[in-house]
Amino acid sequence: MTSHAETAPLVELPFGDRLAEAVERKRSQLVVGLDPRPDLLPVEVRGDVARFCCGVIDAVAPHAVAVKPQLAFFEALGLEGLTVCQEVCAYARAAGLLVILDGKRGDIGSTARAYAAAYLEPGADASRPFGDALTVNPYLGRDSVDPYLAACRRHGVGIFCVVKTSNAGGGEVQDLALTDGRPVWHHVALLVAEWGADLVGRRGLSSVGAVIGATHPTAVREARRILPQAVLLLPGVGAQGATPADVAPAFTSGPASALVPVSRSVMHAYRAGDAADWRTAAGAEAARVKSEVWAASGW
């Protein structure tokens, strides 16, 4: 495991500006998801989630702009899991990657404020926030999102609001028609645009983004129209069946206006049947997806 420094200065630039700089510098819109399952780890690192995740980070750092730890997989490891997640996030940052925590947190009042403090605000020792951004669930309304918006203003972090998801059952709520015929998710997208309007950085991107499932190409196009200044996080490319071509319309607002997270196909690339080292396989798959997405984006 390569050694990186464990501390870094506090960040003041808005999340959208930092993301735009990283995308243009690396010519990449790839986000590598970290969804560690102990039963799927290579034999070499079986039982050592931190070592596996940090090895993946070393492999993909030249090709990705961010990692996306899925908090549920770390929480499933018990109390130790959050400590491991913090270690992995610090390692990723020291490797020059942004950290997008995937928690889809959604609650009201003091609970939302506690989530914002836990994941998006500096610690008592003035260390950097746990993550550079966090996925949140806006379906509880504005008061459930306000604490995260406040953190974005104060600390230069970002959020990605779940708007239209990639799972098949999402349409049972998100696609319901309003009285004017628009689906519910369109209304939520408009709210997200409103919430992020005063958090647009110098690069023209808001710190308030949206999660739009890449498995719904029509929704990707519609979301881009409704949310011209939002960064769209587009899960579903790879294992869920979507392709880079499906998300190409999301990049019309600029090269950093959309991100493509890929988890299983990178983390477990070594299981594809060849004899490649797991780190080598992860790096090769990340490089391939990065190139395909960049080409599809048209930039």
Instruction: Report the pLDDT averaged over residues 174-185.
Output: 97
Q: pLDDT band at residue 126, thresholds of 50, 70 and 90?
A: low
Residue type at position 197: A
Per DSSP, which regions of 74-229 are E strands?
98-105, 133-136, 158-164, 208-212
Question: Which has the higher per-residue pLDDT, 92 or 275?
Answer: 92
- C-alpha to C-alpha distance for 268 and 30, rounded to whole angstroms: 16
What is the chain's mean pLDDT, rounded? 93
pTM comes to 0.94
Q: What is the 8-class DSSP label of residue 239? A: T
| Domain-wise residue ranges, the chain | 15-297
Question: Under a CB-based contact definition with an 8 Å cutoff, are residues 134 and 119 in contact?
Answer: yes
- pLDDT, tens digit (0-9, with 9 covering 90-100), for 195-231: 999 999 999 999 999 999 999 999 999 999 999 999 9
* Catalytic residue (one of 26, 68, 104, 290): 104
Q: What is the pLDDT of residue 2?
A: 46
Residue type at position 38: P
Asked about 164 being catalytic, the answer comes back as: no
- C-alpha to C-alpha distance for 186 and 180, rounded to whole angstroms: 11
Q: What is the pLDDT of residue 238?
A: 79
Superfamily of domain 15-297: Aldolase class I (3.20.20.70)
